[in-house]
């Protein structure tokens, strides 16, 4: 099935960039589950629409859709981003979809988009990661090559994570540029972002995207995504209230204490970083790191620093991946003690495959970049590594049982010691 999907994906690269003008944003997908997906778009005029969708293997055979969901003309005439759920889907299935706007001038159809529903336990999970796309105000478009590279990647991505600073500022013009630049990528797989400081918690972020089940503002400020053998917890490190950090600690501990063998966390500010400009210093090593150790987290994904760095602390791998389009920034002469490997001067993205054996990570270069220069690379890897699967973490009950056993053994040893002392008198 994924081979067929790879053939069809080539169509995206050819037609994604010429989406018809009535589509301002999209279509794109988000919040996938075992049996549902949300399809989103913004049109330039109020329009009724229909979403047609089909299993990829069936579409490859027939070239047609057998499923359709109609979307009525908005009664209030407002031009808001629509988020339409497709439900009663088959699990572990690749789908292709298309949105058609029914305009007064005639039907206008989008390029084809793709998504997959949740796989079973034991199946591989593949996804892409980027962060700090933002937007440079002058010169050539640095975002589009990154979006095109992810769209053209041979990996069958289940979803795409973004670690924040999606846009430079959350105005409509900036969002329009971002969606146009990443249009091909957004057709590849569902998009799952977290907030960065440049989004500033702006309403437009919540208007544009649908997240997995969460909490905080609109129940979307932080979220948890359970997907086969993987759980991803998305957090917001731009909050300013202690209560919000405490709530996220509880949220993270709850969702990272499940049975998934692979545990991943994504948020914007880095826990550790050798960045010369930002560095670390956000106290996240105190706020979150102990919870990650307690729950056996494998991988923590951060942005904010515009470079690449892999770090390790207490068995946890931290990745700083701020190479999604913003101008790269330098690393300090002396790296933090947790640093294992670091590269500056590139725009890039990361691809990940999680299997029962472990998590394989590859960091893919897109361009060698600086303030005044931007030169595409051959896509060579900046870094590659494997994280073996952790043994299952002991449950709270198991830990308590071992603690009681240990207390009992210590008590028995103390009693024996007292007995021996009595016999030796």
CB atoms within 10 A of CB 365: 23
Residue 200 has a pLDDT of: 76
Q: Is residue 398 part of a domain?
A: no
Residue 1 has a pLDDT of: 53
Query: Mapping DSSP to helix (H, G, I), strand (E, B) and coil, where does residue 13 land?
Result: helix
CB atoms within 10 A of CB 342: 21
Considering only 11-20, 198-207, 271-280, 313-322, which range has the smallest mean pLDDT?
A: 11-20
Give the H/E segment covering residue 222. strand 222-227
Express each pLDDT in 38-94 by its tens digit: 999 999 998 999 999 999 999 999 999 999 999 998 877 778 899 999 999 999 999
Per-residue pLDDT at 396 exceeds 80: no
Considering only 228-232, 348-352, 388-392, which range has the smallest mean pLDDT?
A: 388-392
**One domain for residues 353 and 371:** yes
Express each pLDDT in 325-345 by its tens digit: 999 999 999 999 999 999 999
Domain boundary among 58, 84, 116: 116
Q: How many residues does the chain have?
A: 425
Per-residue pLDDT at 356 exceeds 80: yes
Provide the number of structural domains found in the chain: 2
Considering only 67-76, 107-116, 303-312, which range has the smallest mean pLDDT?
A: 67-76
Helices (H), 296-424: 396-423
Cis (ω within 30 of 0) for the bond into 27? yes
pTM of the model: 0.88
Instruction: Report the DSSP pairing between strands 82-86 and 358-369.
Output: unpaired
Containing domain of residue 85, as a range?
A: 2-116
**What does the alpha-carbon distance between residue 251 and residue 231 come to, in Å, rounded to a whole number?**
13
Residue 137 has a pLDDT of: 65
**One domain for residues 143 and 254:** yes
Domain boundary among 116, 141, 158: 116
Residue 281 has a pLDDT of: 72
Express each pLDDT in 254-279 by its tens digit: 999 999 999 999 999 999 999 998 87
Considering only 20-34, 86-100, 289-303, which range has the smallest mean pLDDT?
A: 20-34
Per-residue pLDDT at 17 exceeds 60: no
**One domain for residues 191 and 45:** no
């Amino acid at each position: 099935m994924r081979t067929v999907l790879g053939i069809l994906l080539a169509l995206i690269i050819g037609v994604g960039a010429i989406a018809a003008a009535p589509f301002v944003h999209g279509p794109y997908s988000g919040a996938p589950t075992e049996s549902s997906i949300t399809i989103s778009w913004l049109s330039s005029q109020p329009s009724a629409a229909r979403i047609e969708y089909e299993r990829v293997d069936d579409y490859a055979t027939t070239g047609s859709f057998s499923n359709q969901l109609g979307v009525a003309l908005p009664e209030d005439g407002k031009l808001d981003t629509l988020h339409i759920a497709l439900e009663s889907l088959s699990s572990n299935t690749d789908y292709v979809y298309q949105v058609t706007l029914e305009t007064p001038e005639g039907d206008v159809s989008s390029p084809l988009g793709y998504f997959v529903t949740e796989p079973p336990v034991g199946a591989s999970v593949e996804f892409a990661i980027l962060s700090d796309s933002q937007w440079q105000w002058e010169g050539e478009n640095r975002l589009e090559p990154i979006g095109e590279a992810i769209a053209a990647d041979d990996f069958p991505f289940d979803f795409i994570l973004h670690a924040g600073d999606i846009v430079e500022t959350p105005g409509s013009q900036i969002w329009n540029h971002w969606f146009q630049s990443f249009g091909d990528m957004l057709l590849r797989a569902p998009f799952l972002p977290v907030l960065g400081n440049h989004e500033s918690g702006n309403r437009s972020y919540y208007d544009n995207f649908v997240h997995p089940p969460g909490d905080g503002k609109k129940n979307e400020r932080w979220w948890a995504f359970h997907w086969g053998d993987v759980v991803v917890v998305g957090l917001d490190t731009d909050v300013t209230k202690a209560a919000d950090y405490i709530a996220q600690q509880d949220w993270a501990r709850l969702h990272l204490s499940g049975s998934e063998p692979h545990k991943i966390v994504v948020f914007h500010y880095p826990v550790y970083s050798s960045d010369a400009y930002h560095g670390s210093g956000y106290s996240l090593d105190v706020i979150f790191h102990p919870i990650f150790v307690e729950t056996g987290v494998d991988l923590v994904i951060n942005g904010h620093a515009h470079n690449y760095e892999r770090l390790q602390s207490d068995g946890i791998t931290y990745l700083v991946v701020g190479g999604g389009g913003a101008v790269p920034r330098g690393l300090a002469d002396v790296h933090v003690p947790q640093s294992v490997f670091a590269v500056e001067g590139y725009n890039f993205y990361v691809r990940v495959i999680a299997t029962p054996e472990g998590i394989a990570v590859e960091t893919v270069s897109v361009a060698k970049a600086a303030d005044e220069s931007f030169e595409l690379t051959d896509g060579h890897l900046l870094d590659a590594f494997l994280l073996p699967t952790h043994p299952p973490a002991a449950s709270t009950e198991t830990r308590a049982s071992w603690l009681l056993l240990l207390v009992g053994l210590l008590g028995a040893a103390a009693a024996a010691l007292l007995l021996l002392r009595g016999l030796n008198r």
